[in-house]
Amino acid sequence: MTVTECCEISRRGLLVGAGAALSGLAAEGLSTRMAFADGTYTGDTLVVVSLRGGFDGLSAFAPIGDDDYYRLRPRIAVPKSMVLAGDGMFGLHPALAPLLPHWRSGKLAAVHAVGQEKPTRSHFAAMEAMENAAPGSAVRTGWLDRMLGLTGASGPLSAVSMGAAMPSRLLAGPAPDVSMTGIDEFQLAAAGKKPMAAALRAMYSGAPAVLSGPALAADRALSATARIPGAVTPANGAAYPDTDLGAALRDVARLIRAKAGLVTATVDCGDWDMHEGLGAAVKGQRMYDNLAALAAALHAFVTDLGEATMRDVTVLTVSEFGRRVRENGSKGADHGHGNAMMLLGGGIRGGRVYGAWPGLGPGALADGDLAVTTDYRSVIGEVLQKRCGLGSLAEVFPGGVKPSTLGLATAR
């Protein structure tokens, strides 16, 4: 039996709604996750929200000061009169209204014109490259797995993929991690769970670590989640939307409030591939409704945790690519390149859009796309150093990527 076969058996036959912790490159299929440390990590809990499908940063943080934005998007551009917190150059899409208090209080920021150094318009290839974050190298692990390894986190729930059907490549690699659809659904798929757990431990007792690791790590994770308090009403009047993202973030908050030593979580949020029907900035249009749901879930998460806890939490969003600048004939936008990231947390210097804006004029576009002026890895790198306590980024981002000097985060 190979390592991969062992892991696949443990995922398919042993757990309901959960992926067993994996070791080595057998973790290549992993997605949304969470981490509990062994007590040595003192940085922020890092929550990575993957906006799958190609997020349209030009809608979320509209460049209202660039006349070419309105020339190229006559039907889907956000009107200047409708943006929130406009500063003359950028404004928030009106559907992001739930996040406006966090923007005004300086806890929410954006970075525009971010992207990868080797762009592709293939969803699969772009997301794989973004989650690997080691272009041109032989490294095949995920950047979040490499980050986790540097923290020394080794507990049974050192990394958890929350809410996704399949775990993400972000955590592919040797650091312990587990994938679950939800805390309450993470359980053995059989009656008489205790005898089965005992049989599992006995079965792998004395086996080589490469074989026993996934099964025994899953057993430890099950024991750890059993100690998490049952579902409770979110704190501070928080109201999560009835969406997959809302449910996932609610469980992330449960783990943080349980003070179980969470280091990192990844959560998926899909349906951003809007070739058609992206629409005007009004309720009932796809972009408006998706942004409203995203904003509602993030606002509930921040409200649930409260100001004191959010001082030690950072949320950031990533997406495989942005949308083309010119709208298409279906009131949508096709696959592009440059995009926007969101950062939310107590250590974020918010209330503004960071990055060097390249412009949307004919000579400024990169093959019809928003040009990239900031490597997304450098944005993450600044957060990793200032909020997560990492030193050199050489192991996380091979190839000499430097943390951004945007000043978007405060040092702990």
pLDDT per residue as tens digits for the range 153-171? 877 777 888 997 566 789 9
pLDDT at 42 over 70: yes
pLDDT at 17: 34
pLDDT, tens digit (0-9, with 9 covering 90-100), for 277-304: 999 999 999 999 999 999 999 999 999 9
Round the average pLDDT of the chain to a whole number and report it. 86
State residue 335 phi and psi, 5-degree precision.
Answer: -60, 130
Nearest residue to 302 (alpha-carbon basis) of 156, 99, 141: 99
Mean pLDDT of 137-149: 95
pLDDT at 246: 98
CA 131 from centre of chain: 10
pLDDT at 29: 28
Query: Exposed, middle or buried, 39 (CB in 10 Å: 0-12/13-18/19+)?
Result: exposed
270 touches 153 (CB < 8 A): no
Q: In this structure, how many other beta carbons lie within 10 angstroms of the beta carbon of residue 138?
A: 6
Query: Exposed, middle or buried, 195 (CB in 10 Å: 0-12/13-18/19+)?
Result: exposed
pLDDT at 183: 87
pLDDT, tens digit (0-9, with 9 covering 90-100), for 227-255: 888 777 899 999 999 999 999 999 999 99
160 touches 166 (CB < 8 A): no
User: Per-residue confidence at 226, pLDDT binned at 50, 70, 90?
Assistant: confident
User: Per-residue confidence at 33, pLDDT binned at 50, 70, 90?
Assistant: very low
**Spatial separation of the C-alpha atoms in residues 47 and 269, rounded to whole Å:** 13
User: Per-residue confidence at 207, pLDDT binned at 50, 70, 90?
Assistant: confident
- 249 vs 99, 193, 232, 338, CA distance in Å? 15, 27, 14, 27
Q: In this structure, how many other beta carbons lie within 10 angstroms of the beta carbon of residue 227?
A: 8
348 touches 409 (CB < 8 A): yes
Residue 27 token pair: 């973790």
- 307 vs 64, 73, 157, CA distance in Å? 31, 38, 25
pLDDT at 215: 67
pLDDT at 37: 41
User: Per-residue confidence at 200, pLDDT binned at 50, 70, 90?
Assistant: low
Percent of the chain with pLDDT over 70: 84
Question: What is the gyration radius of the CA atoms in the chain, in angstroms?
Answer: 21
pLDDT at 195: 62
- 5 vs 8, 47, 168, 211, CA distance in Å? 5, 30, 18, 10
pLDDT at 11: 32
pLDDT at 28: 28
**Spatial separation of the C-alpha atoms in residues 61 and 409, rounded to whole Å:** 19
pLDDT, tens digit (0-9, with 9 covering 90-100), for 309-350: 999 999 999 999 999 999 999 999 999 999 999 999 999 999
162 in helix, strand or coil? strand
Query: Exposed, middle or buried, 42 (CB in 10 Å: 0-12/13-18/19+)?
Result: exposed
Domains of the chain, earliest start first = 29-183+240-386 (3.40.720)
**Spatial separation of the C-alpha atoms in residues 264 and 32, rounded to whole Å:** 10
pLDDT at 14: 35
**120 vs 29 pLDDT, higher one:** 120
pLDDT at 194: 57
pLDDT at 30 over 50: no
Nearest residue to 159 (alpha-carbon basis) of 262, 56, 34, 273: 34
pLDDT, tens digit (0-9, with 9 covering 90-100), for 386-403: 999 999 999 999 988 999
pLDDT at 297: 98
pLDDT at 16: 33
